[in-house]
Amino acid sequence: MDSDVATLPLPPWPFDLAATLESGQAFHWTHDQGWWRGALADHAVAMRQTDAALEITPAHHAAAAWSYLGLDDEMSEIIATFPPADGPLAVAMQFCPGLRILRQPAWETLATFITSALKQVVHIRQISLNLRQHFGAPLANGIWAYPSPESLANAGESALRQLGLGFRAKSLHRTATLIASGEADLAQWQHLPDADLAKSLITLPGVGTKIAHCTMLFGFGRLGAFPIDVWVERILRELYFKKKRTVTAKRIAEFGIHHFGPCRGYAQQFLFHHARLTKLGTKR
DNA sequence: GTCCAGGTTCGCA
DNA sequence: TGCGAACCTGGA
């Protein structure tokens, strides 16, 4: 059935499809018989990586997949903006140099991260798949689109709670309603500079600094966004403030933003991924 | 049974 | 401004 396959040669910079899809940016991809299956917006696709190429089916979604996977990011230029002689960051990059920042649909990213508050990755994934299957449009091959704001607004808060969203149901429903009504307009917000985009996102229920920055980074392509969650705060504290126990979270946030430069979102992702997979910072 | 997880929000000093 | 507590739920 996978005869309609596009084969695209990969750029020279390392790329790791599996790590990129599993690095806590998106939560709906499933690995099945060598292929990663899921949805690019409203299209079911399957992708796999061979030695030097990326294979995508159906073939006519190849360009969309390329962009989704951040494969047009000039990694050498991005790395060049990082602070020189930063040991911890170099270690994190070496751990998984093939990571990319995904370019996902804004609404899907926003909604997914609203449901992520105080959840483990496995739960976020469960909720994402549940929402798709109950309120999203069925695509091909058992893949479902992420539900539209209208669909979640119509579903109602209690229906969302029944899917295990807990207190996040209220936030997700209220935000979906604001967007469905046009009161909040993500398409319009695309044009805002980073600072204003962050302010706008934070006005939405269930969206604070962290989720706003995740949405900007993974859903609006803003590489200057710098989400600080418990993992990133822990490792920044441990790696860059080892001698001072009493540094405040605010001070750490300011450090991160000033230290890592204009592509700090990528730095964050390297550090986060490394810390999570090596359990760095979890033991005291 | 207890504890905690990619946070946000509200109330009170 | 700054800090603490509450908030749902499922898995370890």
In the complex, which nucleotide's C1' lies nearest to the CA atom of residue A117? B7
pLDDT at residue A284 is higher than 60: no
Task: Give the C-alpha separation, A66 to A8, whole Å.
Answer: 9
Task: Give the C-alpha separation, A166 to A158, whole Å.
Answer: 10
Task: Give the C-alpha separation, A160 to A143, whole Å.
Answer: 20
Task: Give the C-alpha separation, A46 to A33, whole Å.
Answer: 11
Place of tokens 């992702």: A269
In the complex, which nucleotide's C1' lies nearest to the CA atom of residue A210? B7
Please report the pLDDT score of residue A162 as a whole number.
Answer: 96
Q: Is the CB of A283 under 7 A from strand B?
A: no
Task: Give the C-alpha separation, A236 to A239, whole Å.
Answer: 5
**Joined tokens for residue A79:** 């790395």
Q: Per-residue pLDDT tens for A121-136?
A: 999 999 999 999 999 9
Nucleotides in chain B near protein beta carbons (<7 Å)? 5-9
Residue A283 binned pLDDT confidence (cut-offs 50, 70, 90) = very low
CA distances from A81 to A13, A35, A59, A85, A263 (A): 16, 34, 35, 12, 7
CA–C1' A277–B1 (A):
30
Q: Is the CB of A173 under 7 A from strand B?
A: no
Q: Per-residue pLDDT tens for A143-166?
A: 999 999 999 999 999 999 999 999
In the complex, which nucleotide's C1' lies nearest to the CA atom of residue A116? B6
> What's the mean pLDDT in A249-273?
95
Q: Nearest 5°: phi and psi at A55?
A: -110, 135
Nucleotides in chain C near protein beta carbons (<7 Å)? 2-3, 7-11
**Orientation angle between helical segments A194-202 and A209-219, nearest 10 degrees:** 130
Percent of chain A at pLDDT exceeding 70? 97
Q: Per-residue pLDDT tens for A31-85?
A: 999 999 999 999 999 999 998 999 999 999 999 999 999 999 999 999 999 999 9
Q: Which residues touch strand C (CB under 7 A)?
A: A 118, 120, 122-123, 161, 164-168, 170, 248, 250
User: What is the separation, in whole angstroms, between the first and last Cα of chain A?
Assistant: 51
Please report the pLDDT score of residue A242 as a whole number.
Answer: 77
Q: Is the CB of A117 under 7 A from strand B?
A: yes
In the complex, which nucleotide's C1' lies nearest to the CA atom of residue A24? B6
In the complex, which nucleotide's C1' lies nearest to the CA atom of residue A118? B5
Torsion, CA A72, CA A111, CA A55, CA A265, rounded to 10: 30
Please report the pLDDT score of residue A3 as a whole number.
Answer: 75
